[in-house]
Structure 1
Amino acid sequence: MPVPNDPSLYEEVLVSPMYLAGSSGAGDAGFAPVAHWPHHYLDEGPCQLVVTSPDRRVQIGWFGDDFELWKISAAKEAVAAPRWTATFNHVTPPEIVAGLTTALARDYADADAYEGNGRFLANPSVYWADAVRPLTDAGWTRDGGAERGTVEIVAPDGHAGVLIDNRLSGWDDETVTLWAGPPGWGTRAEAVFTARTPSHLIAATAAVMAESAPVVRERHQIDRRMEHLVTLAPVAQAVTVAPTAEPSVSRAPTPLDVRRTGVTQAVQRAARAPRTAADLRVMAAQSRSTGAAQFRSGTLAPAAAARPSANSSTSRRSR
């Protein structure tokens, strides 16, 4: 059993499947696609950072001390009520959040093509399957044991899925829940979308969950209850060298190399390469440029340190 001063606790490892990797300790990957948007740091209240689109119709809130760590919404006007809302809890890998933020950044950039409103305000598809097609295309299958009026699609390993509630009673109801991991405050990742969330945004988030590429974590960031469900590989042993005309000596990546690559790959997968790799690396680097320990100077509070507030409770949707 590792001891608190054991250096191996801080060894960087590749974790797969990604959806069981938990938090990386910072939200860099989730904020990287919108690093060029305005950042608003708050001194009071549970929300510590809000990143908004230039016109403030899209808002991405970071709640560093709450169970629901991320709250993302979009509205027709900056002062209007949200048309839809998505929340991600403190166990959700930020690479999954990047699936949504990348799609939002792309939709906002293309807003003029949609008469100024932006595709991020589009009506959801009338077919529930459109929102989860990346999962079914990847071999996730329907669970026949779901309650009447709901549909559940489950990963081949049974440790992740999506629950769709078709018993619609209001536009602000939470109708789609992406989940991963066994029930529990430190083990169950959840991403929840309200009824009017555009289907393509849910699909962009689900597409990242369907990816099999591992992500980088330090060993201590893996909950002990999850260790038997994931595969860990030391980063130094996972170096792949492309064949060349002449023999060459491979160099193990530094931790910084791995982090940069991991963030860039997460954004590229979610966005399906809407920008060049160089642009994405610049955006990722900008979001981390002032150091992970300086929240007020431009970085994020560690997600790993997030704890429920006094009136917080376990997940409303724990299974």
Structure 2
Amino acid sequence: MPTPDDAHLYEEVLVSPMYLAGSNGTGDAGFAPVAHWPHHYLDEGPCQLVVTSPDQRIRIGWFGDDFELWKITAATDAVATPRWTATFNHVTPAEIVAGLTTALAHDYAEADAYDGNGCFLANPSYRWADAVRPLTDAGWTLDGGAQRDTVEIVAPDGQAGVLIDNRLSGWDDETVTLWAGPPGWSTRAEAVFTERTPSHLIAATAAVMADSAPVIRERHQIDRRMEHLVTLSPVAPAAETSETLGSRAPTPLDVRRTAVTQAVHRATRAPRTAADLRVMAAQSRTTDAVHGRPSTFAPASATPPISASAPRRSR
């Protein structure tokens, strides 16, 4: 029989900053933008699910038992070597992954409608600042302690950042790392991009990290070592709703609070029914949509600074 403490642990709360919220135990938010793409469930091997674009040039892999939970690639054709790779570890909020998958779904729809090539295969900008502009626009600043030929930009609270490696490297080397949280297996979120990842895709991912909107988690999903770094607010203040509001007309603040809560619920919940998928497919400009039911997945465990206007080293 559930105890009062159990009820408290499973209470839904709004968590901010979002980049410190950790995983909610599912990949739904990351898969939601591409829910209309083909799903391939794998019985063997560490990769449990691959969601692909209809032509299979974009692949989104879910490794439910690994430290690197997500592996996302893009190639010139279905059997070509990936042009670039992005990985997200098991601590990274799926809402951050959704920043990339949303941009990929948009790029694929544009390619299908126009040239068939796709911005998701574009060359990255020669200026590293283009990939992280959402962060610098949000007030993230250069860390003067970065190693020579690297750039590190840190959030105002010092609990998140991006490391850019401008040293001469190979095409498949990891050159951009978005991170959040203190070092540790269950506390440090990381998103890593290889050299040829288009800058606008990194920027789309970074933009979610810069967003101040909270996300929904259950209290037990917040690592105890992170509790002092985040702000938790009840999603539904039941006592006030049932008692206080029941005896008076709602104020404009009440209305706004309810609207925000409902919006966050919608943003952090993947579609659950076939009707939801039909709505998503209708909104997409991809004409070759495949309707499917989204699945819920649970991991097993979970030098002097370089000027922002300086070009990246050529490879």
Match for residue 236 of structure 1?
Answer: 236
Match for residue 111 of structure 2?
Answer: 111
What SS does structure 2 have at the residue aligned with 1:110? helix
Match for residue 141 of structure 2?
Answer: 141
The yes-or-no answer on 1:306 pairing with 2:311 is no
Aligned residues: 274
Match for residue 58 of structure 2?
Answer: 58
1:44 counterpart letter in structure 2: E
2:55 counterpart letter in structure 1: D
Aligned partners of 2:18 and 2:215 also within 8 Å:
yes
**Structure 1 length normalisation: TM-score?**
0.79
Cα deviation, residue 262, structure 1: 2.5
- Give the gaps of 5 or more residues in structure 2: 242-248, 282-292, 303-315
Match for residue 292 of structure 1?
Answer: none
What SS does structure 2 have at the residue aligned with 1:236? coil
Cα deviation, residue 6, structure 1: 2.4
1:262 counterpart letter in structure 2: A
Distance 1:55 1:73 in 2: 13
2:182 counterpart letter in structure 1: P
Match for residue 261 of structure 1?
Answer: 266
Aligned partners of 1:216 and 1:262 also within 8 Å:
no
Q: Deviations over 1:73-128 (max 9, x none)?
A: 00001000000000000000000000000000000000046632100000000000
List structure 1 segments (4+ residues) > 2 angstroms apart after TM superposition.
3-6, 112-115, 237-240, 247-253, 256-260, 278-284
Distance 2:185 2:279 in 1: 35
Distance 1:117 1:17 in 2: 36
Aligned partners of 2:165 and 2:175 also within 8 Å:
yes
Cα RMSD (Å) of the superposition? 3.0
1:299 counterpart letter in structure 2: S
Q: Deviations over 1:41-86 (max 9, x none)?
A: 0000000000000000000000000000000000001000000000
Cα deviation, residue 258, structure 1: 6.7
What SS does structure 1 have at the residue aligned with 2:162? strand
> Identical aligned pairs, as a percentage?
79
Aligned partners of 2:36 and 2:277 also within 8 Å:
no
Match for residue 174 of structure 2?
Answer: 174
Distance 2:68 2:181 in 1: 16
Distance 1:262 1:165 in 2: 33
Distance 1:57 1:209 in 2: 26
Q: Which residues in structure 2 correspond to 1:187-198 (within 5 Å)?
A: 187-198=187-198
The structure that has the greater radius of gyration is 2
Q: Deviations over 1:184-233 (max 9, x none)?
A: 00000000000000000000000000000000000000000000000000
Aligned partners of 2:178 and 2:192 also within 8 Å:
yes
The yes-or-no answer on 1:47 pairing with 2:43 is no
Distance 1:154 1:200 in 2: 20
